[in-house]
Amino acid sequence: MVENIRVKVISYIEKGPRIIASAGKVSLSRRTIDPKRMDQNEIKRWIKELIKRGHGSPLEHSSYTFSIEGCSRVCSHQLVRHRLASYTQQSMRYSEGYLRAQALKVAEIIGKSCPKSPKEAGVKAYRCYSEVLRNSLDFLNSAQLLDTARIAYVIPDNIKFKDLTSYLKELLRATSLYYELLSRNVNKEDARYVIPQAVRTNLVVTMNARELLESFLPLRMCTRAQAEIRRVAWLIWVELMKIHPELFKWAGPRCVYLENKTRLEPCTLKEFIEGKCDFTIKRCPELVPREGIKECLRFATRTINKKDVIL
């Protein structure tokens, strides 16, 4: 149920791999380096050399900016723990668009007309949103509850269906209370305290290649990462593979990162997934023993749809 999350690269250094390769070459050569004279094979060779050596500083010369839409604030709080990055996030003090879309959809289902925007109707709009959400709790069936709740909130996959109905009602009830507070002229920055952390949000995130390859992707692509941010990480990797596969084919969960630091020749994520490369480490950093790592990695790939996977 975390599939309604969209990730897109909106800006990046186009010649990033070339810059990274030339920076890596600078550290080992006294000769003047001209990045323009490096052909594609030389670029790939030097990037592989950096992966083998664990030489991370050249990776910092390429950065990537992502638009992440529809993740929860639970997920965004995990994202910002990666401190070597820049973040801009949708403010719930100024925008409650996901919540309003939910209220308007509920109004449509139960046949109630509410103002499309509070800009003209003011507190009357908030009062209408609150009433339709509160009054709908006894009328919406399970499918309708799920469809409307997902507009504004991310629903964790591990909440079983027998518990799901009451959970979804609580989400709608929280939104109703939020709009009731706004109808009483409570400021948005105070009314938002009643909103669950599952509420959707949008972010713009910028990271350099080193943070992506050595920290964010290894930690968050892992099976042991929380499901939503794991999906975000895999979607980020899919986007990166579209633009710089020569660099990010080496990316992967912590098991892949650690394995490539110990073997004579690194392997790509595709080679590990397809079984063309075996794991030699005794266990991964998450304490999965060697014999279980391959299956654990396969499970992690199920985080995204097969059509999204670019290996």
List, in order, residues 6 or more apart from 66 with CB less than 8 Å away.
Answer: 7, 8, 9, 10, 204, 205, 206, 207, 236, 239
Per DSSP, the three-state class of 94 is: coil
Q: Which of 73, 100, 220, 254 is catalytic?
A: 220
The answer to whether 152 touches 99, Cβ cutoff 8 Å, is yes
Question: Cα–Cα distance between 202 and 158 in angstroms, integer?
Answer: 23
List, in order, residues 6 or more apart from 107 with CB less than 8 Å away.
Answer: 113, 114, 128, 129, 132
Question: Cα–Cα distance between 67 and 88 in angstroms, integer?
Answer: 10
Q: Do the strands 85-89 and 200-208 form a parallel or antiparallel pair, or are they unpaired?
A: antiparallel
- Whether 220 is a known active-site residue: answer yes
Amino acid, res. 19 = I
Catalytic (active-site) positions: 220
